[in-house]
Homo-oligomer: A and B are copies of this chain.
Amino acid sequence: MISFENDYNQGAHPEILKRLMETNREPLSGYGTDPYCENARKKILAACGCEGGEVHFLVGGTQTNAVVIDAMLQGYEGVVAADTGHVAVHEAGAVEFTGHKVLTVPHRDGKIAPKVLERYLAGFYQDENHEHMVFPGMVYISHPTEFGTLYTKQELEQLSQICRQYEIPLFLDGARLGYGLMSSGTDVTLPDIASLCDVFYIGGTKVGALCGEAVVFPRKAPRHFMTAVKQHGALLAKGRLLGIQFDTLFTDDLYFEISRHAIQMAEELKEVLRKKGSRFAWESPTNQQFVILEDEMLERLKKEVAVSFWEKADENHTTVRFATSWATESGDIRRLEELL
């Protein structure tokens, strides 16, 4: 059985486990105050080119989205997201649970088009009844998106400019950020993101860690953010578990190496799928590939290959997702080729 089910179905990159073993007996203070957390913070800020910023470590993606959004919004504000955004659809209402509405706009390939955002914000303030409505207090984008697609630098610049004009923060969900940065076609760098966004996170769970997301505030975190994290039940006692992992990921560019490998595997995968005549639901330049398969073929494949159900494409076809990760090997792809 080979698995393209998702990018979090195996453990951690071996280098991470090795470091956890090596440091296991060191007594370290809790809650993110240990030197590994401190080192990781410095390395991340250096990689982002924003040495004056702040980094906080959280455990998972939905948690991170809810904590960051709640901490940065005023009570009467909501967060603007694409209607396909993770916060809008697949987080069991974690944002609403904190009292804030997710204000959706129609997506284009999983993205918010700058024009769509502009029109939404302008329209809101033109509406004579807007004081009876939820104020847009923040913009949420994911990069890569839930569709595996990427914003261009120009799009990010435009979104950022619109947010600054309306004085609301731009938040980038980087659950799979490494794959976006290492995609061959992208012109977006980590320092670009740090300069254009007001807060973003560098995903660990889906990029080789056991768990963990690094939230970067390129300038300043909200006041007493640590207490807000605790209040959300998101403060890890053994903060070292996150610190050691991110220290490892940001030593010798491991984070980028892991990402580059997965992208290369995705490219090989795409080639094989294309060669075999598979149809892609849409073009994705990252580690997730969305493929329309005949149901018969899918049934046959599932005996030996794990993929994710995405949606029914039509009566006889299903769109499925193939994902690659640090753990994908060329052999997996050759084996798939034989099976197709």
Contacts and interface: CB of A to CB of B under 8 A. Distances in A.
Interface residues of A, number: 79
Contacts of A26: 10-11
A37 B44 CA distance: 33
A227 B97 CA distance: 12
A197 interface: no
B11 A25 contact: yes
A101 B90 contact: no
Number of copies: 4
Contacts of A5: 27, 29
A132 B97 CA distance: 14
A8 B237 contact: yes
Given A17-B24, A30-B6, A30-B9, A93 B78 contact: yes
Interface in A80-99: 89-94, 96-99
A75 interface: yes
Contacts of A8: 30, 237-238
Interface string A88-132: 011111101111111000000000000000000000000011011
Given A133-B92, A134-B92, A230-B131, A60 B235 contact: yes
Contacts of A75: 70-71, 97, 228, 231
B59 A59 contact: yes
A234 interface: yes
Nearest to A229: B92
A315 B9 CA distance: 55
A39 interface: no
Given A92-B132, A92-B133, A233-B234, A20 B23 contact: no
Interface string A162-183: 0000000000000000000000
A129 to B, nearest CB: 6
Nearest to A11: B24
Interface string A195-237: 0000000000110001100000000000110111011111111
Contact of A232 (B65, B97, B134, B224): B97
A98 B65 CA distance: 17
Pick the 7 closest A-B CB pairs, nearest first.
A63-B233, A11-B24, A3-B27, A92-B230, A93-B134, A92-B231, A96-B101
